[in-house]
Structure 1
Amino acid sequence: MKKVAILFRRAPHGSPHGREALDLALLSASFEQEVSLIFVDDGVLNLVKDQQPELIGAKDYIATFGALPLYDVETVLVCEESLLEYGLDLTDLTIEADMVSPSLITEQLSKVDEVLVF
């Protein structure tokens, strides 16, 4: 089984990167690849609760993160430093995730076959 890590680095709604990354995660998982999602830098904003992207003319794909358990995507890591930078904690996120240090993110990335950055 191929192990794939998808790294979210950009904020949502300003570009299609977040939606494309999520689509790729679900597609990869449906083909029985082991998918892990990692949120760093501005990418942590993809998980913030109660967003209203329709107010700026963007589509709301954030709710789709709730489908991850249906696809057996179990590894969801969020950079602790990035959350702190935005004054966020795990209770501010729309899905369950593990808050980890940058060194643990590096360790996770070394364990996968492919890393895709969005």
Structure 2
Amino acid sequence: MKSIAFVFTSSPHATASGREALDAVLATSAYSENLSLFFIGDGVSQLLKHQQPQSILSRDYISAFRLLDLYEVDDLFVCNSSLNELGFSAQDLFLDTQVLSSNEIAQKLADSDVVLRF
């Protein structure tokens, strides 16, 4: 079975990319068990605690990330360099993730059969 990597690179609520990526992950999980999610650059902010999208009249899709466990999507990777650049740490995230270096993320992406970037 092919391994599929979903790469989140955009801030939540700035565009529909994050919501579309999450929808794609949940739909794909019905057909494949070999999914990995990568949060790189501004994409790490998808997982920040205490978001209040309703204050900007945006749909709260962020809470749907908690469904990943029910869909048995367990491979969540966050770029350590991106966290540091944005001034965050793993404790600022609401999901358990593996924090990896840029090189480790690049290797995992290279090992994936399909890479989808959002």
Structure 2 contact 44–78 (Cα < 8 Å) conserved: yes
SS at match of 1:51: coil
Deviation at residue 86 of structure 1 after TM alignment: 1.4
Aligned residue pairs: how many? 118
After the TM superposition, which parts of structure 1 deviate over 6 Å for at least 4 consecutive aligned residues?
none
Q: How many percent of aligned residue pairs carry the same amino acid? A: 41
What is residue 16 of structure 1 aligned with on the other side? 16
In 2, distance between residues paired with 1:28 and 1:12? 21
SS at match of 1:59: coil
In 1, distance between residues paired with 2:117 and 2:33? 17
- Please provide the CA RMSD for this pair: 0.8
What is residue 101 of structure 1 aligned with on the other side? 101
1:37 and 2:34 aligned: no
Deviation at residue 32 of structure 1 after TM alignment: 2.4
Superposition TM-score, scaled by structure 2 size: 0.96
Structure 2 contact 33–73 (Cα < 8 Å) conserved: no
Deviations 1:50-90 (A, max 9, x none): 10011111111111111111111111000000001111111
What is residue 61 of structure 1 aligned with on the other side? 61
Structure 1 contact 36–75 (Cα < 8 Å) conserved: yes
In 2, distance between residues paired with 1:72 and 1:33? 8
Letter in 2 for 1:16: A
What is residue 71 of structure 2 aligned with on the other side? 71
Gaps of 5+ in 2: none
In 2, distance between residues paired with 1:116 and 1:35? 11
Deviation at residue 34 of structure 1 after TM alignment: 1.2
Gaps of 5+ in 1: none
In 2, distance between residues paired with 1:102 and 1:92? 19
SS at match of 1:42: helix
